[in-house]
Amino acid sequence: MSIPSFNRAVTCAVLALALVPVAFAAAPAAPVKEPGDLWEVTSKMSMEGMPMQMPARTSKVCSPKTWTEPPGVAADEKCTMTDVKNTSTKSTWRMTCPGPPAMTGEGEIIRTSPEAYTGKMKFTSEEGVMTMALSGRRVGDCDSAASRRLVAQQQAQMETQMAQAEAQSRDAVLKMCAETANSLNLSSMQAQGAICDEAAMKAAFCQRLESEAGFKTVCNDEKRPPTSLADAAAYCGKDPDSMRKKACDNAMKKEDLDLIGNCCPDQSREIAQKECAGMKYTSAGGSKYAAFCVTYAADVMDGTQQQAAPAQPKKKKGFKIPWPH
């Protein structure tokens, strides 16, 4: 049984049985009081397959003096109590909760004396089995009506907190799915397909690919990004050559040397032949092409760029940027 399922089973137990651990505090003065018994309750939960035992918990709860049914039967509208049987010393019942995950349960409480009781509850789902052992002893008197109001208040707070936690969980998943699509990594997309909306994630992926930043992420196949332009384009039903031509033509118009150097080998060679051949280190600093030329030369050395056929430069004195031969 997973942790979320375990937490839900605990919640069902709390709502289905007034004798489970619920913090007891003095409630505001009520117009009508109802005599009740204050019990010190100890509970211990266990799960099949859990490597370590959970510690027992002890708290004080208030219950009516007369038990006519398992306390809190109507507290959880999602769960249905059936086969309820009561005697002067014993109560048993069955429970069905729709989920997710769907669970079935059964419970039993035995009054070993007017001052003590023992009990147990068992929940079963497709994820496993959880059991709860209960014991209690009467320690005083209390106002049962005020206790019910307090339990209802705590239940409302618990439901609000659960709703907030679920909303935060959904937001976290949406953020993770958006970041995965934004990364343009098809392997990650496939890995997250089970928890993300595949159609929405694909739409975000393809929209990102159409952007300049997205194209630049996958454009340089030689540098082995997580996903190549060919793979990304095929996933979105696009032609990679057309995408590259459009992006590189726009980059040339804007003189975006960074995008050209990373993504446009034909245009890079054209600029290198025109602007870089014969450039000297002593004069490179004054040229807007200096960084481009140095990077291009390094890429030629690494084999990630095809060397531009240098124009025949005039002979100049000084140390030139080395071009591989």
| Sheet-wide strand order for 128-143 | 57-64, 35-47, 128-143, 116-125, 103-113, 90-97, 80-86
pLDDT in tens, the chain (325 residues): 444 444 455 445 544 444 333 333 444 444 578 888 888 888 888 887 777 778 888 888 888 887 655 443 344 557 788 888 888 888 888 988 887 778 899 989 888 888 888 888 898 888 788 898 888 889 999 988 888 888 788 889 999 999 999 999 999 999 999 999 999 999 888 888 888 999 999 999 999 999 999 999 898 766 666 788 999 999 999 999 999 999 999 999 998 998 998 889 899 888 888 888 766 655 555 678 888 888 787 777 666 555 544 444 444 443 344 444 3
- Which residue is associated with the tokens 């997250």? 192
CA distance 256 to 238: 23
Q: Look up residue 107 and give its amino acid.
A: G
Q: Strand runs (DSSP E) across the chain, as ranges? A: 35-47, 57-64, 80-86, 90-97, 103-113, 116-125, 128-143
User: What totals of helices (H) and strands (E) does the chain contain, helices first?
Assistant: 11, 7
CA distance 244 to 260: 10
In this predicted structure, what is the pLDDT of residue 280? 60
CA distance 128 to 138: 33
- Which residue is associated with the tokens 């124009």? 311
First CA to last CA distance, the chain: 66
Q: Where are the domains of the chain?
A: 3-166, 183-256, 264-325
In this predicted structure, what is the pLDDT of residue 17? 46
Residues 284/249, Cβ–Cβ less than 8 Å = no
> Please, which contacts does 276-280 make with residues 24 or more away whose CB atoms are closer than 8 Å?
276/308, 276/321, 277/308, 277/310, 277/311, 277/313, 277/323, 278/310, 278/311, 278/313, 278/314, 278/316, 278/320, 279/320, 279/321, 280/316, 280/318, 280/319, 280/320, 280/321
In this predicted structure, what is the pLDDT of residue 303? 60
CA distance 23 to 150: 9
80-86 and 116-125 as β-strands: parallel, antiparallel, unpaired?
unpaired
**Residue 237 tokens, joined:** 């039903």
**Residue 129 tokens, joined:** 């089995």
Give one DSSP letter per residue of 270-311, joined into a string: HHIIIIITT-BHHHHTTSTTHHHHHHHHHHHHHTSSPPP---
- Which residue is associated with the tokens 């032949």? 273
In this predicted structure, what is the pLDDT of residue 230? 92
